[in-house]
Every structure is written in structure tokens, then in C-alpha cells.
Structure 1
């Protein structure tokens, strides 16, 4: 589902995103609850999420500027992985970006996150570069990837 910022409770949604992120990432959430809220308040930020039993169990957050967008944060609770929720979130995001005439979706992912790298490759992303020592806790390189939105069928 798409989170409508004008109709939603931003602090409560930021809290829900933080809680999913804290559980989904092996080293804890890369963002604080305050950072989620600040991102929600930014022009061009958009969030897609999945609810199960009334709770957020996965989300994908992007930042869009002109005809480019970047995945800022993407997480699914461990107990809900491998159920197609990530694919569902990605499909909703791409559909939205097509409607918005966005051309390219970018992301950064830990080099050692093989599951995420494979997921992005299966969803049409291509490696376009890397950033040495980009991540911390532990220090690790980032793989830069992009997807041409208009080529997605």
C-alpha cells in the first residue's frame, strides 16, 4: 500500500518503520525514529508498506527528485521474508514511478548482502559502480545499482 502523508499519522508511521528496521537489519536500524520522521516530511519522499494483522511488516521508502528516484530504506521483518512481500513492494514502487514519469531508480546495497543483491538482480537492477568503505558496523563497500523504470514490463 502507498502511505498517504497528508492523511496518515506521521509520528506513528515513523515509529512503525523504525521497529521493522530495527528487527530486519542484522546490526539494528540504520536510521533512528527521528530520521524516519524527517524523511517522511521531505518533499519527494514516498513509502510503500505491507500490513499483516494491523501491523507494518515491510516497507520500501524512496526519495524522488525530478525524473530520478533512490531507494532510501527497504526492510521486511525476518518472519515475513521469502513470502513475496519484497517483490510486491518493489512492483508497487515501480508502478508508482512509471505513473510519475521517473526514468531511473537507484540504490546502494552492502557488497556482502548476497540475498539483497540477488533480489535486485532478479528485479532488473544492474550494477553501475561501488563505494569503498561506505557502510559501517562493520565497514563494507556499497554496490551501486540502477533500474531503468520505463523498460520494466
Structure 2
């Protein structure tokens, strides 16, 4: 885990290497071989590195999906009091952005991440989370195509 995270810190890695590293990271994090205490202890570092990676390699659906899987798993371990941390809010904002991505697999992974976060926090979702979701919905509605909005409205 530490070696993979250290490799992701490098700014000069190409997209193929980033895809491989993020695949291995997501596989490792989805297994039960990595202790939750390790992820919680390195939460700020891990989320910062993963957010930089998804920003640097956003054009790669493979890299983006696996980073979102890692972020989802990381978020499943955080306590409610961590929502005061700016990195936690940035992770949610990234998930919300990718939840409406035009690439189906990326969109599905982003949506699953948001649902996972909300399920973890239910029934009392912190105000900052509700506000992030509200702002994301507002942004999407403001940028939406009117024809698509009418279609969705009349089908409901």
C-alpha cells in the first residue's frame, strides 16, 4: 500500500503506469488485507494523493474509476467528525462531479461512491454534506440542456 501511494505521489508518471497503480490500489483496498486503521491514519495524505491523481489523469476512464473506488473505500472508514476536514469535502465534491460524467462506467462508480457515503452517514447527514449535494444538483440544473430536462420532467 505504502509503495503504491508513494508511486502515485510522483508527478511524472504516465497514464499507463497510473492506470496500473490505481488498479492495484483499488484491488488492495477492496480486499480485507488492508487494515482500516492504516487508511484512517493516513487519510489526509491518501485522499490528497488520490485527488491529485484523478485530476492529472481524468481523461483515463480506467484511472478515474479506480481512484473513485479507492476514495469510496477510504470514505467508508471515516467518522462523522471528519467532515470538518476540507479533504473530506473535496472527496465528496469529486464524487459528485464524476456521478454525472458522460462515461458510463465512471458515472456508475461515482454514483455508487455518493450512495455509499450517504448510506454511511444516514440517518443524520451532516449539514455540509447536504449543502455539497444541493450545490452539485443546482450546478447540474443550471448547466443542463432544456430538452433533456423536459424529457426527464415529463417521464417522471
> TM-score, normalization: structure 2?
0.34
> TM-score, normalization: structure 1?
0.34
Larger fraction in strand: 1
Give the greater-gyration-radius structure (CA). 2
Higher relative contact order (CA 8 A, sep 6+): 2
